[in-house]
Amino acid sequence: MLSVEGLTKRFDSVVAVDDVDLELRPGEIHGLIGPNGAGKTTTVNLITGELSPTEGTIEFEGEDLVGLSPSTIARQGIGRSFQVVQYFPEMTVRKHLRLAVRDTTRTVRSVFDRDADYSEEIRQVAERVHLEDELDTVARNLSHGQKRFLDIALVLAMDSKVILFDEPAAGLNESETAEVREILEELRGDYAILIVEHDIDLVRAISDRITVLHNGSVLTTDTPENVVQNPQVREVYLGE
């Protein structure tokens, strides 16, 4: 579904991502882990068009994504969340989701869409992330955990086929992390998901496969069980 081959990103003499191959299969949850500075977020930024690769190809459903803008890539069906939650502090949850649900190319012409009603889609997405009671809450008044859920909801509302979650549990307490896990489990099968996360227990629990990055290169891609048994992974990532 999403295929990355030979992906390389150099910043002057620093190689942030080095010849990375990654394949995301339909319906799978794929973990992407590695120590700080391993190139995880850079890889996500390359796939989503925030950065241009120095070398390599990124194909989504047979189409080359290299050189496309983030908004074009998003419209093709690749959504992402962020390490630092990105939202609109002055807008309600409902307006957030309306912006995500509607046709993003029809903006000025929306003046003719007076009857456009997305309430059912908005309600369904809000329920998936447990925000159905907060639809009329202004986003800045949400708790940190709820803002994380809103970030996830935005991606779901876009009707993406592939979702890249960049540390969806960052800064969350135990119960909120459990909620994120529950939400992600419920998405299994509906989307191809790439999850970058430092919480190794969360990644092990929900991933079908895990890719481990180290110094910008792929150390291994395997099932969670095999990855945690891999001596190289234990050495570079778990410090054993």
Residue numbers at the binding site for other proteins (CB under 8 A): 48, 69-71, 74-75, 79-80, 82, 86-92, 95, 98-100, 102, 104-105, 107-108, 110-111, 113-114, 116, 138, 154, 158
Q: Distance of CA 168 to CAs 61, 63, 147, 152, 226, Å?
A: 25, 28, 11, 8, 24
Q: Tell me how far, at minimum, the Cβ of 88 lies from other proteins, in Å.
A: 4
Asked if 162 and 78 count as a contact pair (C-beta separation under 8 A), the reply is: yes
Q: Tell me how far, at minimum, the Cβ of 15 lies from other proteins, in Å.
A: 25
221 secondary structure, DSSP code: E
92 vs 217, beta carbon nearer other proteins: 92
48 vs 207, beta carbon nearer other proteins: 48
Q: Tell me how far, at minimum, the Cβ of 163 lies from other proteins, in Å.
A: 11
Please give the radius of gyration of the chain, using alpha carbons only, rounded to the nearest integer: 18
Q: Tell me how far, at minimum, the Cβ of 104 lies from other proteins, in Å.
A: 4
196 vs 212, beta carbon nearer other proteins: 196
116 vs 178, beta carbon nearer other proteins: 116
In angstroms, the CA 170 to CA 201 distance is 13
Among residues 112, 125, 130, the alpha carbon closest in space to that of 190 is found at 125
Return the half-sphere exposure (C-beta side, CA atoms, 13 A cut-off) of residue 11: 8
